[in-house]
Amino acid sequence: MMKESLTEKYLLKILVIDDHESVLFGTLNVLRKYFSDAEFVTAVTAKNALEALSISQPDLVVMDLSIPEHPDTTAKPETGVQLLRTLMKKYPHLNIVVQSANVRTLVRIRPDIDSHKGGFTVADKSLSTQEMLTRVDWALQGLTHTKDIKGIHSGLEVKPEWLRMLTLAFGEGLQDRTIAERMCISERMVRHYWSKLQDALDVYPEEGKNIRIQTEMRARQEGLID
């Protein structure tokens, strides 16, 4: 399982941000069962979260959007959105799961999400425990999954560098390392492009399916490659 391969390598650090005590501990209980060897840190305000991040440097953040800025302020989705913007700017490779009933507000920071290099997934609070854990696994794999955000994909938008990558991969049959050399970028950036393209195409990991082959099929259906 994914959790075993991750925790074998190092002690996973997870920061959970939520100002509702029952939800916070509910999320912690679920994650502790799944990642039994992980180290957990919690925060209930945006200020707490920034302090915890600078001290603990977690691998993953699981956060609600409707949180207060300080203990004496009101919880608002905009506070979480602003915190996210700060996190993605300051920690570009941080893996993030947004677990919230206000996920549609994320459309306000679509450019920040598109350029974020770490994993970024969305788990509406109505999802089952297993579906939520799947989003966590995807984030830890560095994948992007935003199709739950209403209106964020209003028409397929594909960047030129993604098209170049598609041509090199499926037109010339090149592997990521060679694609990176040809495009004069890092191999990590190539993987980042794959994640963003797959999210735009609604292609996500499925049991028994090769995600690259699925990506190629969808790209051809959309006319991105011949």
Domains defined for the chain, CATH in brackets: 2-145 (3.40.50.2300), 160-221 (1.10.10)
Q: Is 80 exceeded by the pLDDT of residue 154?
A: no
Query: Which residues have CB under 8 Å from 119's CB, separation 6+?
Result: 60, 95, 96, 138, 139, 140, 141, 142, 143, 144, 195
pLDDT at position 178 is 97
Strands of the sheet containing 95-100, edge to edge, are 39-43, 13-17, 60-63, 95-100, 120-124, 144-145
pLDDT of amino acid 223 = 77
Task: Please state the rounded mean pLDDT for residues 79-89.
Answer: 94
Minimal CA–CA distance to 175: which of 157, 194, 160? 194
Q: Residue 63: pLDDT above 50?
A: yes
Q: What is the mean pLDDT of residues 183-190?
A: 96
Burial of residue 191 (number of CB atoms within 10 Å: 0-12, 13-18, 19+):
middle
For residues 98-115, give the mean pLDDT: 85
Q: Write down the mean pLDDT value for the chain.
A: 89
Whether the per-residue pLDDT at 25 is higher than 90: the answer is yes
| pLDDT above 70 as % of the chain | 91
Q: What pLDDT sits at residue 158?
A: 75
Over the stretch 46-58, which tens digit does the pLDDT of each residue have?
999 999 999 999 9
Residue 226's pLDDT is: 67
